[in-house]
Structure 1
Amino acid sequence: MSRYLSNLFWLLSDRVFMMVFQLSLFASIKRLYGLEVLGGWATLNNISQLLLSVFLFGIDIVVVKKIIDKPSHAGREIGSAIFLQFLGLLVYALIFLFITLTFYKTIPSSLNYALILISANFLSLFAKFIFFHYSALVESKYRAITILTSVAISYGFLWICIYNEFYIFYSYVFFYFVQALISIYIYINYFPAATKWFVDISISKNYFRVGLKLIISTVSVSLFTQCDVILLEYFSGAEETGAFSAALRLSAIWFMLGGLIANAFFPKIVEIEKISQTASFIFIKWISGIVCAMSIYAALISTVLSGFIMKLLYGNGMELSAQIFSIHMWSGIFIFLGSFSSKWLFSKEYINFEVQKTLLAALLNIALNLIVIPKYGAIGAAIVSLFSYFVANLLFFACTKKTRGIFYVQAESFKYVFLPWLLIKDYGKVKCQFR
């Protein structure tokens, strides 16, 4: 257990610092340029993420699982995956530029935003040299060191930009530039020689075939999380989009915690599932109970303090963002539960179910937003998001025989919210699985 908790600590360290840096950038954009500029940046950023979900093929977790299964093949798996994703990024860049110049040229500095985002995404590919390998080995120290150092340097650069009235958007791509340099240094000097990567075209083709299946899932997830911003910009304008994005940027810091905990324990879920599904359900129910309780308590606190938090971070005029934030934080309950149910699906290689649930949620999210946003704006979008996460990450699993077991596990995990002492009582059943 201590090994996985140590890995989680390093994962949390890098993600928290990264999200704080991004939040600082968002807050600086709002304070210096206003909500309309923030809305324009957020719109193009969301379109970029939507395209990336297609052209990176969603294979990251598949690569990590391959390395878990066959550590001796790590170099071949990493190199082949990165080669495929590099080709995908080339296509992404061309399409993103076309969309920006054709449909979003009315947004001030839209071409600059697009070039900054494209450069950052190419540079981020270098970090995957070490991300894939150390995630599989449950050793995220080097990745965390890379992120923490990059954030520290980039934070300094951000404040230099603010003080000297430079174009602060450059600090975004500067972070990924520093991260790329550090990742390359770690790869050259600390990576095991036996796992130095190389490209195997046959493996790249196999990842491409798997990616084609996963594209529906990854695009659905991206549509699920990005379409509200894009539709808000279309129906309500850049200012309301900026208010919505400001709230979501803050809630995202909390939501990423569920994904990080699930990522840290994913190798263990794979290992336990090979032994017994009953054993894996015991662990998933217990850990889901922890994150479920955390998310409910956090949502209650956020509901009370949302106005104060928004004013502290962004300044005055953020009343709408405060309302959005207080609603959106309740989505965390189902986002946290979904982090573990998705990992269980991948451990069972139930990729089709992952595709189905995310596609259903995306279609539901888009359809409801088209109805709700024109009338209720950003508040309606936040409520739709909450309902869609409930359908995707809980209700869906009750609908099929193969996934009904995980539905019961998730439903039972709510008992830990009201009976928290059972977490301590049931810890013994979980602890023995880590010996």
Structure 2
Amino acid sequence: MKLIPNFIHRRIAHRPNLIKIVENIGWLFFDKILRMGVGLFVGVWIARYLGPEQFGLLNFATAFVGLFSAISVLGLQSIVVRNLVRDPQCRDETLGTAAVLQFVGGLLAYGFIIAAIFWMRADDQLSKTLVAILGATMLFKASDVAMYWFESQVQSKYTVWVQNGVFLIFTGINVALIMNNAPLIAFAWVMTAQALIVALSLLIVLGLRGPGLRLLQARMSRAKSLLADSWPLFLSSIAVMIYMKIDQIMLGQMIGDEAVGIYSAAVRISEVWYFVPMSIVASVFPAILEAKKRSEEQYYRQLQQLYDLMVWLAIAIAIPLTFLATPIVTLLFGSAYEQAGTVLSIHIWAAVFVFLGVASGKWFLAENRQILSLQRTALGAVVNIAVNSALIPLYGVRGAAWATVISYATAALLADLVQLETRKMFLMKMQTLNILKVICRIQQ
């Protein structure tokens, strides 16, 4: 399946590495656009079927599990990809060790999830059951090493095939649940089953198209090396999950599950765009690492171009959604979710800082400055909790949306100004707002 149009292919035919990057981005976009379109349609149908309160409870449980997901991954993704690019001779040891570490991390995460929900909602049996079912997905995280391998090889088409095939099958199952008036808990079981099938399929594809599974091996020395590099990213990921998920959890605890349902409807539309920076950055990161080996000037020029692209893509998405938020929400979710329109018009501006944060996160990895990354994300998490605590009692779901924008801006932009080592990054990010300079850089 050829995803690069012929007129683009002709222009870059003399640059095989660029063709590989563009094709990889194409596969990732195909993956996310398909799932965005179909998933949004089915997600809206589920939201209408369940209503704000039950939909809110399902999203509360999902967010609660997500809050602990960083424990299962241990900050290894970027470290493993980096090591596979830098040291391909040790691929079997790197992948095998990472798989074992993430399996252990998944067990720890599941234990924390169960303990936490029994403490927070001791008298709510349905919440405890939903979280216990969804939390089981943490046990399948070892299979993520397949995605790391194909990302390092700029061959994401294989993971796209797996994830989309399973996704379409389970989309049909979700539709069948709706048509048969299934209870809320059935949707949780389907989500967990989908994660299990994806995990098994990824491992099969890794064995067929990547290193053979029998060749993978785990070593204590490699585990120590990976964890020594990843622990700041691990703590940083915990902070990221806090300021990405804590708003829904705090809304559920402070106001109620219906508020979570309203807020989640807006967030579903707002966050659906986050695949854009993740797909682009995942594809260009190996090339940026190669540029750093050749020339610092070329390295920072490519980073600046990436920042320019990220900011203006986000602005192009945010402006129309700001004005069309309420009609879009009402059209999709129905009048019961009308309040989500105002939330969406605020929350969508967090995308500017999310896009920037995804791009600049690779700088910390390339420079081996994970501690700095940890500091800025920890600051964002603290700001998010503090602002949510102040604004939710006053403004409800709108307060949670403002808290998200403020905390994302703090982590992705303002923290760079505070830290001396990252002040250059702050200036580079501010340059993206000068549209004339951006145009000049594109023409160079």
Matched, 1:425 2:439: no
- Unpaired runs of at least 5, structure 1: 427-435
Q: Is the 8 A contact 1:38 1:242 kept in 2?
A: yes
Question: Which residue of 2 is the match for residue 433 of structure 1?
Answer: none
Q: Which amino acid aligns with 1:43?
A: F
Deviations 1:340-379 (A, max 9, x none): 1111111111111101110111111111111111111111
Deviations 1:267-321 (A, max 9, x none): 1121112222321221121222122112112111101211222123212222211
Q: Which amino acid aligns with 1:135?
A: E
Aligned equivalents of 2:322, 2:124: Cα separation in 1: 33
SS at match of 1:34: helix
Matched, 1:118 2:135: yes
Aligned equivalents of 2:317, 2:374: Cα separation in 1: 29
Matched, 1:163 2:179: yes
Question: Which residue of 1 is the match for residue 80 of structure 2?
Answer: 63
Counterpart among 351, 376, 392 of residue 395 in structure 2: 376
- Runs (4 or more) in structure 1 with deviation over 4 Å come to 19-22, 105-108, 418-421
Q: Is the 8 A contact 1:290 1:423 kept in 2?
A: no
Q: Following TM superposition, by how much is the alpha carbon of 1:106 offset from its aligned partner in structure 2, in angstroms?
A: 4.3
Aligned equivalents of 2:78, 2:438: Cα separation in 1: 32
Matched, 1:144 2:168: no
Matched, 1:186 2:202: no
Q: Is the 8 A contact 1:40 1:107 kept in 2?
A: no
Q: Following TM superposition, by how much is the alpha carbon of 1:25 offset from its aligned partner in structure 2, in angstroms?
A: 5.2
Question: Which residue of 1 is the match for residue 97 of structure 2?
Answer: 80
Aligned equivalents of 1:392, 1:228: Cα separation in 2: 16
Counterpart among 297, 311, 316 of residue 316 in structure 2: 297
Q: Is the 8 A contact 2:97 2:218 kept in 1?
A: yes
Normalising by the residue count of structure 1, what TM-score does the alignment of the two structures yield? 0.91
Q: Is the 8 A contact 1:75 1:198 kept in 2?
A: yes
Matched, 1:410 2:429: yes
Q: Is the 8 A contact 1:73 1:195 kept in 2?
A: no
Matched, 1:35 2:52: yes
Counterpart among 215, 218, 222 of residue 203 in structure 1: 222
Aligned equivalents of 1:184, 1:284: Cα separation in 2: 33
Q: Which amino acid aligns with 2:219?
A: D
Deviations 1:6-47 (A, max 9, x none): 111112222333445554454233212211112222222222
Q: Which amino acid aligns with 1:89?
A: G
Percent identical pairs in the alignment equals 25
Q: Following TM superposition, by how much is the alpha carbon of 1:423 offset from its aligned partner in structure 2, in angstroms?
A: 5.4
Q: How many residues align?
A: 424
Aligned equivalents of 2:97, 2:42: Cα separation in 1: 34
Q: Is the 8 A contact 1:100 1:114 kept in 2?
A: yes
Normalising by the residue count of structure 2, what TM-score does the alignment of the two structures yield? 0.90
Question: Which residue of 2 is the match for residue 314 of structure 1?
Answer: 333
* Cα distance change on mapping 1:194 and 1:36 into 2, 3 Å: closer
CA RMSD of aligned residues (A): 2.1
1:172-321 correspondence to structure 2 within 5 Å: 172-193=191-212, 196-321=215-340
Aligned equivalents of 1:158, 1:237: Cα separation in 2: 26
Aligned equivalents of 1:292, 1:248: Cα separation in 2: 19
Q: Following TM superposition, by how much is the alpha carbon of 1:256 offset from its aligned partner in structure 2, in angstroms?
A: 2.6
Matched, 1:366 2:385: yes
- Unpaired runs of at least 5, structure 2: 1-17
* Cα distance change on mapping 1:20 and 1:87 into 2, 3 Å: farther
Matched, 1:347 2:363: no
